[in-house]
Amino acid sequence: MTDLTPVINAVIALIAALITAFVIPWVKRNTTAKDREEFLKWVEIAVAAAEQLFHTTQGKEKKTYVVQFLQEQGFTFSEAEIDAAIEGAVLKLHRELGAAA
């Protein structure tokens, strides 16, 4: 079996770079700091919950759960903004879990 870890790490790094370069500046221009902080905190909570509730292979179900959770909290960000926030929260969670191991 081929070790895909380097490929996965490269993809995560690319996603993080794209989020940092394009999505985050756009979100900052269109929301207040308090709105962003609250939204990102709820995204982190939803991502952590999804990681606990679903198996590793259930990525689509995890995302659906997070999006529905955010909608229930009253957030009306675009799909691109939500996707970027989810990817950022997942990356942060994986880094924290990796550091704890």
Q: For 28-40, write each residue's pLDDT tens digit.
A: 666 677 877 888 9
* 96/85 Cα distance (integer angstroms): 16
Q: How many percent of the chain have pLDDT more than 70?
A: 88
What pLDDT score does 27 carry?
Answer: 67
26 or 38: whose pLDDT is higher? 38
Contact 69, 46 (CB under 8 A): yes
Distances (CA, A) of 9 to 13, 76, 90, 91: 6, 31, 13, 10
Name 84's Cβ contacts closer than 8 Å, sequence gap at least 6: 19, 23, 24, 27
Contact 93, 51 (CB under 8 A): yes
Confidence of residue 49 (pLDDT cuts 50, 70, 90): very high
Condensed to tens digits (0 to 9), the pLDDT of residues 66-84 reads 999 999 988 888 888 888 8
Q: How confident is the prediction for the chain on average, in pLDDT?
A: 83
Domain layout of the chain by residue ranges: 5-100
